[in-house]
Chains A and B, each alone.
Chain A
Amino acid sequence: MAQIPNLDNAPLNLTSLREQSQKELLNILKNIRGKKCLVIDPKLGSSLSSIIQTSLLKEHGVELRHLSADPLQTDCIKVVFLVRSQLDLMKFICLNVQDDVSKGFQREYFVYFVPRRTVVCEKILEEENVYNLMTIGEYPLYIVPLDEDVLSFELDLAYKESQVDGDTSSLWHIAKAIHKLEFSFGVIPNVRAKGKASVRVADILNRMQAEEPVNSPDMVVPEINTLILLDRECLHVNNGSVELDASIMGLQQEGKKIKVPLNSSDKLFKEIRDLNFEVVVQILRQKATSMKQDYTEVTTTTQSVSELKDFVKKLNSLPEMTRHINLAQHLSTFTSKPAFLGQLDMEHTIVEAQSYDICFEYIEELIHKQEPLVNVLRLLILFSITSSGLPKKQFDYLRRELLHSYGFEHMATLNNLEKAGLLRKQESKSNWLTIKRALQLVVEDTDTANPNDIAYVFSGYAPLSIRLVQHAVRSGWRPIEEILKLLPGPHSETKRGRFSSSPSYDTLQASANIDKVADGRRSLVLVVFIGGITFAEISALRFLSAQEGMAYDLIVGTTKIVSGHSLAETFVERLG
């Protein structure tokens, strides 16, 4: 398993958060005495890997297994299922248990739901007649810190569930997670939300505060000053965009084979991760050359011992270097492919929304060539959104071609996309151009090596989401109200806690700011992306946060870290 992220430099005390989660898990394991087989659902497994080391689990007499439909292979008498409370996972548990029963194994079963037990899951276990065999518990893991400024709620299906199925459980979870944060760090006084889901989360959060108030002593300034909630729904645009952040591609590509720890604990990575892919190669080359120079110096001139020592120290970072160079090489094979560049080009064209026909033909051709379905869908979604849907004839045509090329089983996928509003018939004129212009989404002349605007992450396209954050942080929603109205979903802005009643809030805030400056810390803004965030967006946010004159530290909260690819993938569902 990957190394767990280093959180020492986090602006919030995330370490304690993680330690709490660790402790809770270990307590669960401790309470079940003796050897036990821990069956984790695979997705949860990857979340847990950033919480706790496998070795620590093994110390507690745990044998790890992944949950699947296949019968369980273990000698342990005690079996602990640690699963997210997802309906489909219950099926696996039932299969496993029923298999044991039919084979006459007598085992003790424990089911721990993450983050909480739910009526519906228990109902399924009941109906499958396995409920009586098991002890039910819960493991309240709501937040996983992925990095010193990134928190994840690990709800990878949140977007699809709430958009397609209308299952808003994830919204409650997000609110609960934020509420939990508030218990540690105080009530967040400012909440700004944009989009239906976000406004709902803000609403639920307020309810929770009413039901179970966080008692913050009056004199303490809450650690998080502002909460910004944004919906993927109104920001779909990014979904389609190619994920360009080079280092991240690395994570996705390499991650499957060997997990390379890619987070702030790796110094070099910290330096390069947020750079545009075009630049990474250059930096790596520089580093390599300087090292080579050092090396030649060593061999040619006689040097003092101390200098040698220095050199050896440098050599220590060599494995890191080689790893990254390998990664970069691996990446460049992707990025230099014409298809990749073509797609990048095309995405820019679509975002610029100038030449409808070219885009249409390009997508048509992709379908004809039977390029990977997800790639096609990404472009198609982007295309549909920027032009607020496709004319009926073309809509039907493309759909038919899709079914013909990829099989009729993708009817369900199309249906999902349609329900989520990602792919639809044109009904009104597109307002994309207005939005694009008002928020300066497309920036000409970006210098990717020395960026001065967030547009650098997509080589010239500034993600809508980040632009909104920029505005929300700077001045609140009021100045851009008109533009917000153009985007789908309502928006809201509320003041909470003891500030809600204070009319002279602004002065209060001002004084709070002064306090902050005095102790050398900036106030914190928690930006929550409901439906996921891309690494590129995180990079852009980090860039924002690092700008001079920025009065806030930004922390990102998200349902899951996604890429255009993985997001589109959640919608792919075969009828079969």
Chain B
Amino acid sequence: MANVSVAAEWQLLGDRYYRKPELYHPMQWRHIDLSRNKVACAPFGGPIALIRDDSKIVQLYSESALRKLRLFNSAGVPLSDVVWKNTGGRLIGLSWSDDHTLVCIVQDGTVYRYNVHAELIEPNLSILGHDYFEENVVECVFWGNGVVCITETCKVFAVPDFKTRTVVRLADPPPPPSELELELELELPHCVAVIEPQYTLSGNVEVLLAIGDGILMVEEDEVQALPVPPGDGPLQKMVVSGNGRFVAAFTHDGRLAVYSTRFEKVFEYQCESALPPEQLAWCGLDSVLLYWDDMLLMVGPSDEPVRYLYDEPVVLVPECDGVRILTNTSMEFLQLVPSSTVSIFKIGSTSPAALLYDALDHFDRRSAKADENLRLIRSSLPEAVEACVDAAGHEFDVSRQRTLLRAASYGQAFCRGRGIGALLRMWRAWVGFGSNFQRDRIQEMCKTLRVLNAVRNPEIGIPLSIQQYKLLTPSVLIGRLINAHQHLLALRISEYLGMNQGEVGARIFNSAELQRIGSRKMFVLSLSFCIPLCQGEVVIMHWACSKITASLAIPDAALLEILLDKLRLCKGISYAAVSAHADKNGRRKLAAMLIEHEPRSSKQVPLLLSIGEEDTALMKATESGDTDLVYLVLFHIWQKKQPLEFFGMIQARMLARDLFITYARCYKHEFLKDFFLSNGQLQEVAFLLWKESWAIGKNPMASRGSPLHGPRIKLIEKAHSLFSETKEHTFESKAAEEHAKLIRMQHELEVTTKQAIFVDSSISDTIRTCIVLGNHRAAMKVKTEFKVSEKRWYWLKVFALATIRDWDALEKFSKEKRPPIGYRPFVEACIEADEKGEALKYIPKLSDPRERAESYARIGMAKEAADAASQAKDGELLGRLKLTFAQNAAASSIFDTLRDRLSFQGVS
């Protein structure tokens, strides 16, 4: 049977099968000897970092004495390398963090971080800092995004998260018992393990130190000794399981023991060697791997372990569902065989799934046994299909994936349309899990496998198992692809999985997952620009950014074309973000060209300012019509440039200039004056001075001293002279001159009359006040001094006299000479003062009969009004007058008759 060969590769550990499929063979690298190197492999099929181990004596072949940090993908394809020139002594540990940053810790506690492109991420972090600079790091243990370091004096430091970059010093282990003091100053732990914060009660990291015979658990502020079962200590090596609940340890006498994290023993196995293994790792949750030179031992909860022999060095990479085994020439994946696979391929299996798989085989060979098989499993066909689909998912071999899926689809074809008998009843139980569900499952699995196969390709080199893929989530996978500059694949995958909807993108950016693992850079980028992006946009924008970084040699214009070509594909691209990146890479010109394409002015303008394109920024801000942006630019330039340069810049820009003036008028008077002087707008300066003169007038403190030569008048006179500098402002100039004169005169008047009522009233008011006070000479003087016209003079004097009700004087005034504007002012003044008798003196003197009529009407003399109106022969006037007399029946009849007569005349 075909199945036999599959199961033949399995090993039985207890009652479970394990298998060890080859992921890559041979590795793409050449001449790599793992034993000469320090190796760091990222979980989830991540990259591999190699650097020659400086703690070992190795023979140099034809290579430089300088060490190189070399990065590969999981298939051994070189990604990048860099010469290791970092100071700080020996490299103690290196590991990949969750976001694929390579963290290297050297002796003096400096942490160097590299991205997958072997670029150093500044700034470096120092774990020991100044306070402990004399100490050395001797041991470090990494987890997720953190690390714990032990110094030679057994101080424990932790960096809980490389992103926040805070260093925590944990509590010191207590000094060793005094009798040992003589031999050793301090005992270093035999081994160290870490329980990740996510699995501890406190939420902080817990460090397990195997010191002496026991275990110390060190936390931030306390040290706790954990009792190890007697006879076990000292522990030589230990490792915490993937779920943080168990510790596997190698005892001094060659036993492998599994404890709970409180060190209650769960399991024990006596190894053949008392020599501690070089590597110790959990494989999934139910077996532990021990590696000695040449031998890999897998111990499970049964008596008989599995042995694998290797003639070359190996590196164990624990994953959530197994262990990857890296050797010089291959990468293997040691995992528990999934139950679906077991049910199909186990030798002698008669499970429905196995029969279905077999049926397909018969079907392919056109054997009638196919039908027979199907009949056998008819009742459990859906389970069989499901098992085949599931098994396909766990398969790394593409042809076997295909066969399994074909088997599933073959079985699925028979699931449908059999709506009779027992089948029917059975199907009903499956409502919701009917054939549609299965069809979808098959499709979905096909999609997933395509993605998995694509990323497993040696060129990409991410050998994810399906379980890892689900844990990692597609969006993080895309983030990692982006990080590795596999933009095209990332874009294809995101499109293929239909992740181009904005909401997906938004969800991704909100997910804490992304913050934990994956593309931090894009996360930060998108956050800083606050745009809900969809996955496709994320990919393209990241591509653009990386392209910029990578294309130092391409001239700006050409690069712009290349970028725009792709950026145009997506609508919601933030050009501002890409441009900001270009600027960060020192390509200011490119940044300027890119920002040109940003449609949102509110994003565009600040960026233009940051790249020093003030002129363009000002122009764009003005175009946008958003005055707030213009102000932003304005203040920016103002702060940065010399006043004269600033003035020059805004002079030609109307909106900017006007806004500046508006602002300065409120809060920067002096500076505004400078501005107007600088561009020769003397009249504006004059206006400002004039305005100031009023401010002084209001401020009683400032008007001290002789009012005649007070600062106020001086300001006005200065304004006057400034106005007279230009021809266009003779009017203003004269007004200012008059104003100064007026104030002088008013001061004099106040002195002579001893009443402070003149200053700051108008010329007309001054005249009126004089007349009201009876000071006709002074009034006359003001009149001649300011060449007040006769007309105005009459109005003013008449009203002033009426105010003091000096009717005699008024009459005298009316008789002085014939008034230049007639007697209307007199009439109006009297009527307003409600002096009908006085008014009557003047009404007959009005020359216009219409005016006469109205005046009569206003003092209620209907008859006379009517007469005058009829004299004017004005029908409309009569009508209006009638309205005024509406209450008075007699009067209105008069108007009616008159109007009739008038209209009659009009007709004739």
Query: Using an 8 Å CB-CB cutoff, how does the interface string of A407-443 with B read, 1 for contact, 0 for none?
Result: 1110110010000000000000000000000000000
Chain B residue at minimum C-beta to C-beta distance from A395: B731
Query: Using an 8 Å CB-CB cutoff, how does the interface string of A258-294 with B read, 1 for contact, 0 for none?
Result: 0000000000000000000000000000000000000
Residues of A within 8 A of B628 (CB): 116, 118-120, 169, 172
Query: Using an 8 Å CB-CB cutoff, how does the interface string of B741-765 with A read, 1 for contact, 0 for none?
Result: 0100000000000000000111111
Q: Is A165 an interface residue (CB 8 A)?
A: yes
Q: Is B18 an interface residue (CB 8 A)?
A: no
Q: Is A493 an interface residue (CB 8 A)?
A: no
Binds A, one of B270-278, B467-475, B508-516, B784-792: B784-792
**Complex Cα spacing A171 to B742, Å:** 42
Residues of B within 8 A of A369 (CB): 795, 799
- Give which listed residue, B599, B667, B764, B880, contacts A127 with CB less than 8 A: B667
Say yes or no: A120-B626 contact (C-beta < 8 A), given A338-B854, A408-B742: no
Q: Are B788 and A404 in contact (CB under 8 A)?
A: yes
Chain A residue at minimum C-beta to C-beta distance from B764: A405
Q: How far is the CB of A543 from chain B (nearest CB, A)?
A: 25
Binds B, one of A199-207, A496-504, A505-513, A559-567: A199-207
Q: Is A219 an interface residue (CB 8 A)?
A: no
- Give which listed residue, A167, A404, A408, A574, contacts B627 with CB less than 8 A: A167
Residues of A within 8 A of B624 (CB): 204, 207
Say yes or no: A405-B600 contact (C-beta < 8 A), given A167-B662, A576-B697: no
Residues of A within 8 A of B761 (CB): 407
Q: Is B658 an interface residue (CB 8 A)?
A: yes
Interface residues of B (CB under 8 A from A): 599-602, 623-628, 631-632, 635, 654-655, 657-659, 661-663, 666-667, 687, 690-691, 693-695, 697-698, 731-732, 734-736, 738-739, 742, 760-765, 786, 788-789, 791-792, 795-796, 799, 821, 854, 858, 880, 884
Q: Is A124 an interface residue (CB 8 A)?
A: yes
Residues of A within 8 A of B760 (CB): 407, 409, 576
Q: How far is the CB of B883 from chain A (nearest CB, A)?
A: 8
- Give which listed residue, B625, B658, B661, contacts A204 with CB less than 8 A: B625
Q: Are A172 and B792 in contact (CB under 8 A)?
A: no
Q: Are A401 and B631 in contact (CB under 8 A)?
A: no
Beyond A166-B655, A175-B625, 16 additional pairs, beta carbon < 8 A: A87-B662, A120-B631, A123-B631, A166-B654, A166-B658, A207-B601, A207-B624, A370-B765, A399-B731, A403-B735, A403-B763, A404-B792, A405-B762, A411-B732, A576-B695, A576-B698
Q: Are A203 and B731 in contact (CB under 8 A)?
A: no
Q: Would you list 24 pairs from A and B whose C-beta atoms are within 8 A, ordered by A residue?
A: A118-B631, A119-B628, A119-B632, A123-B635, A127-B667, A166-B654, A168-B625, A171-B625, A172-B627, A175-B625, A204-B624, A210-B599, A341-B880, A368-B791, A369-B799, A396-B731, A405-B762, A405-B763, A409-B694, A409-B760, A412-B691, A575-B694, A576-B695, A576-B698
Say yes or no: A211-B796 contact (C-beta < 8 A), given A168-B627, A405-B763, A407-B761: no
**Complex Cα spacing A210 to B736, Å:** 51
Chain B residue at minimum C-beta to C-beta distance from A126: B635
**Complex Cα spacing A172 to B655, Å:** 13
Q: What 7 A-B pairs have minimum CB-CB distances, sorted nearest first?
A: A166-B658, A576-B694, A407-B762, A204-B625, A169-B627, A368-B795, A408-B739
Within 8 A of B (CB), among A202-230: 203-204, 207, 210-212
**Complex Cα spacing A404 to B738, Å:** 9
Q: How far is the CB of A340 from chain B (nearest CB, A)?
A: 12
Q: How far is the CB of A336 from chain B (nearest CB, A)?
A: 7
Q: How far is the CB of A98 from chain B (nearest CB, A)?
A: 15
Q: Is A474 an interface residue (CB 8 A)?
A: no
Q: Are A207 and B792 in contact (CB under 8 A)?
A: no
Residues of B within 8 A of A467 (CB): none
Q: How far is the CB of B190 from chain A (nearest CB, A)?
A: 56
Residues of B within 8 A of A409 (CB): 694, 760
**Complex Cα spacing A407 to B734, Å:** 14
**Complex Cα spacing A175 to B625, Å:** 9
**Complex Cα spacing A204 to B666, Å:** 27
Residues of B within 8 A of A119 (CB): 628, 631-632, 635
Q: How far is the CB of B772 from chain A (nearest CB, A)?
A: 14
**Complex Cα spacing A376 to B821, Å:** 19
Residues of A within 8 A of B880 (CB): 341
Residues of A within 8 A of B795 (CB): 365, 368-369
Chain A residue at minimum C-beta to C-beta distance from B627: A169
- Give which listed residue, B625, B627, B691, B786, contacts A575 with CB less than 8 A: B691
Q: Is A519 an interface residue (CB 8 A)?
A: no
**Complex Cα spacing A88 to B667, Å:** 9
Residues of A within 8 A of B738 (CB): 403, 408
**Complex Cα spacing A91 to B668, Å:** 13
Say yes or no: A211-B599 contact (C-beta < 8 A), given A172-B625, A203-B625, A404-B762: yes
Q: How far is the CB of B585 from chain A (nearest CB, A)?
A: 26
Chain B residue at minimum C-beta to C-beta distance from A171: B625
Residues of B within 8 A of A453 (CB): none
Q: How far is the CB of A160 from chain B (nearest CB, A)?
A: 11
Residues of A within 8 A of B858 (CB): 338
Q: Are B691 and A166 in contact (CB under 8 A)?
A: no
Q: Is A30 an interface residue (CB 8 A)?
A: no
Q: Is A400 an interface residue (CB 8 A)?
A: yes
Q: Are A415 and B735 in contact (CB under 8 A)?
A: no
Q: Is A110 an interface residue (CB 8 A)?
A: no
Q: How far is the CB of B763 from chain A (nearest CB, A)?
A: 4
Residues of B within 8 A of A116 (CB): 628
Say yes or no: A211-B799 contact (C-beta < 8 A), given A116-B628, A404-B764, A574-B694: no
Chain B residue at minimum C-beta to C-beta distance from A165: B662
Residues of A within 8 A of B786 (CB): 404
Q: Which of A88, A165, A403 has the most CB of B within 10 A?
A: A403
Say yes or no: A405-B667 contact (C-beta < 8 A), given A166-B658, A169-B627: no
Say yes or no: A336-B694 contact (C-beta < 8 A), given A401-B792, A404-B792: no
Query: Using an 8 Å CB-CB cutoff, how does the interface string of A345-356 with B read, 1 for contact, 0 for none?
Result: 000000000000
**Complex Cα spacing A368 to B821, Å:** 11
Q: How far is the CB of A400 from chain B (nearest CB, A)?
A: 7
Chain B residue at minimum C-beta to C-beta distance from A402: B762
Residues of B within 8 A of A415 (CB): 687
Q: How far is the CB of A364 from chain B (nearest CB, A)?
A: 7
**Complex Cα spacing A574 to B693, Å:** 12
Q: Is A406 an interface residue (CB 8 A)?
A: yes
Within 8 A of B (CB), among A140-167: 161, 165-167
Chain B residue at minimum C-beta to C-beta distance from A342: B854
Q: Are A168 and B655 in contact (CB under 8 A)?
A: yes
Q: How far is the CB of B414 from chain A (nearest CB, A)?
A: 44
Residues of A within 8 A of B792 (CB): 367-368, 401, 404-405
Q: How far is the CB of B736 from chain A (nearest CB, A)?
A: 8
Residues of B within 8 A of A364 (CB): 791
Residues of A within 8 A of B788 (CB): 404
Residues of A within 8 A of B762 (CB): 403-408
Q: How far is the CB of B140 from chain A (nearest CB, A)?
A: 43
- Give which listed residue, B601, B627, B693, B821, contacts A211 with CB less than 8 A: B601
Say yes or no: A211-B600 contact (C-beta < 8 A), given A167-B659, A407-B761: yes
Say yes or no: A88-B599 contact (C-beta < 8 A), given A166-B654, A405-B763: no
Q: How far is the CB of A195 from chain B (nearest CB, A)?
A: 15
**Complex Cα spacing A87 to B654, Å:** 19
Residues of B within 8 A of A400 (CB): 731, 734-735
**Complex Cα spacing A365 to B854, Å:** 18
**Complex Cα spacing A400 to B792, Å:** 12
Query: Using an 8 Å CB-CB cutoff, how does the interface string of A100-137 with B read, 1 for contact, 0 for none?
Result: 00000000000000001011100110010000000000
Residues of B within 8 A of A368 (CB): 791-792, 795-796
**Complex Cα spacing A401 to B654, Å:** 33
Q: How far is the CB of A395 from chain B (nearest CB, A)?
A: 9
**Complex Cα spacing A336 to B884, Å:** 8
Q: Are B666 and A91 in contact (CB under 8 A)?
A: yes
Q: Are A87 and B601 in contact (CB under 8 A)?
A: no
Residues of A within 8 A of B626 (CB): 172, 204
